[in-house]
Amino acid sequence: MSDMDASSSIVVPLSGIDQNGVHTSSITFGYVVRRRLQRNTPQEEWRLLAGRVEWNAEKKSYQIRVPVEQSLPKDYALVKFTTSKMPSTKVPIAPIDDDSAQFLEKPPVKYFRHSSTLNSLSDYASRRAAILSIHVSLTANCACVGVTLPHGLFDATGMGQVVKALNCSLNNLPWIPPKISSSNILAEELERLAVSESVGDPCPPGLVNLQRDFTSVNVKNVLSLGTSMATEMFWHRAKAGAIYLGPNIVEQIVTSVKKQAADEGKGWVSTGDILVAFFLKRTSKKAQPIPMLSQSALPSRCEKHSLETNRDFESYSHNALLPFAFPPLTVQQISSMSIYEFALIHRKAVESTRNIPFIQGYQKWVPSIGGSAIPSRKKGTDSWLLSNQVIGGVDKLDLGSEQLAFWHWMLPFLPDHSFTLNKLRGGYILDACNGIRPNRWTAIVKALDSIKEGKPLDNLSFNDIDRMVKVKRQKTAECVDGPAVQSGSLN
């Protein structure tokens, strides 16, 4: 590939909150569809995707150099495209519909991501590699399409813009790409806040919670996190998978909780708040009845507070994520509170980051611990990492075939007990990316069975759930011609 000079390219800078996962991670979204695939070739609709990562030694930061000439050089790779064919292999596919509430078995990432796909920004920069990778695998029962980008450049919202660019290109739909600029509006906003007078509490409660649950990156803390992950993977046998809630089931859950919200009048909660609370509350039901802190960090887009003054933030393409944490909660507290009460805690934790005091405090705290942080796995705590990605719209990729499943990976490194929330076929999929303990899957599956039986969401005893599950399994065993794997199976 010919190097781009200053006259034929534009440099897109990144902010201090960009470059998330510089050395360790990239995002892969996997789409499972029927065998027939859209055959249109992706066209160059968004020139940013033709950019190359490079290191700016003066600013000590990565940036994207984007070619601006009308035509690209002949040897210039716009997309890294790879394929594989595994005709004898079948991907686990569970039938889903509007009334589904079930566990989904997660297929291996190799069907969606080629082994040569890069991870770190330093590799992208040194190899002058295309930042967008697409991998297609054909199996005996479906086609798997994986879309991968470096997380150091795009979060899930930015990835949603990439998916939109691909979808419009493949399906000949009109689209106005986000503007490409030689300045970075988030970097400018953060610089303005850094030099402006502090507003409010220099260390608000939301930041206190975050500092409790995250720690600096050093050898001791990395080893501690690695040991905790190894324990979950090898001792507790953490299992990757997801639950899918069809639109009718989601409506049932959300309507019930929002009625309680209206009756109690304590505050508004979103569908995402409710589903996250439902998931965590059900996993806590099976935890040991001893004092354990549940610590959860969930990313939040931080530009919301600036939209009133600069509408360009609506199409900001790069990372704008700030992690936030719940206040300390014991398992007993989570188990005893209603889903609405837990959802309201989640909502308040989200809103605690979307203000100037939190952002100013965060910008001062991160450099004080070395410029980056990792989850702090304390003994006797139950640690989760959650990400609501629905707003990004990463599920909206029409490949000309029925979508059967949708998956998410962060590679090569993502702690266990991490899960994402996305849309799928009108419903929602909660994907436990790197696995959770089997007994927690069991607790969730039992809760799903109780929903299908029409039981109330809260105040449901496990004796009732166990009885319902046993009856259901007995009925299943009596159906000689029934499917080999029933909805909710963990096998």
Section 73-94 average pLDDT: 88
pLDDT of residue 4: 63
Residue 200 has pLDDT above 50, yes or no: yes
Least confident of 204-208, 317-321, 482-486: 482-486
Mean of the per-residue pLDDT values for the chain? 82
Region of 394 on the Ramachandran plot (φ > 0 left; ψ -120 to 50 alpha; else beta): alpha
Q: DSSP secondary structure string, 418-435? A: EEEEEEETTEEEEEEEEE
Residue 416 near residue 425, CB atoms below 8 Å? no
Q: Over 60: is that where the pLDDT of 150 sits?
A: yes
Measured in degrees and rounded to the nearest 5, phi and psi for residue 65 equal: -100, 120
pLDDT at 305 over 60: no
Q: Which residues sit opposite 409 in a β-bridge?
A: 28
Q: Are 294 and 385 in contact (CB under 8 A)?
A: no
Kindly report, residue by residue over 4-45, the tens digit of the pLDDT: 666 688 999 988 887 776 777 789 999 999 887 766 666 677
Regarding predicted confidence, which is higher, 382 or 479?
382
Maximum distance among all alpha carbons in the chain? Answer: 74
Query: What integer is the mean pLDDT of 109-138?
Result: 93
pLDDT over 90 at 413, yes or no? no
Question: With contact defined as beta carbons under 8 Å apart, do 276 and 380 qualify?
Answer: no
Amino acid letter for position 382: D
Q: Where are the domains of the chain?
A: 198-391+411-437
Give the predicted TM-score (pTM) of the model.
0.86
Residue whose structure tokens are 């996997």: 30
pLDDT above 90: percentage of residues in the chain: 36
Kindly indicate the confidence band of residue 488, based on its pLDDT and cuts at 50, 70 and 90.
very low
Residues with Cβ < 8 Å from 435, sequence gap 6 or more? 232, 233, 238, 239, 240, 241, 416, 417
pLDDT on residue 339? 93
Beta strands in 75-198 (DSSP E): 80-86, 101-105, 133-139, 143-150
Residues 155-171 have pLDDT tens digits of: 888 999 999 999 998 88
Q: Which of the four pLDDT bands, split at 50, 70 and 90, describes residue 291? A: very low
pLDDT at 470: 41
Amino acid at 243: I
Averaged over 297-313, what is the pLDDT?
Answer: 67
First CA to last CA across the chain, in angstroms? Answer: 48
Token match 């992690």: residue? 323
**pLDDT, mean of residues 228-247:** 91
For position 190, what pLDDT does the model report? 85
Superfamily the domain 198-391+411-437 falls into: Chloramphenicol acetyltransferase-like domain (3.30.559.10)
CA separation for the pair 65, 60 (Å, rounded): 15
pLDDT band at 461 (very low <50, low <70, confident <90, very high): very low
CA distance 482 to 219: 53
CB-side neighbour CA atoms (13 Å) of 131: 24
Is residue 388 within a helix (H) or strand (E), and if so which, with residue range? strand 381-388
Query: By the 8 A CB rule, do 416 and 435 touch?
Result: yes
pLDDT at 372: 79
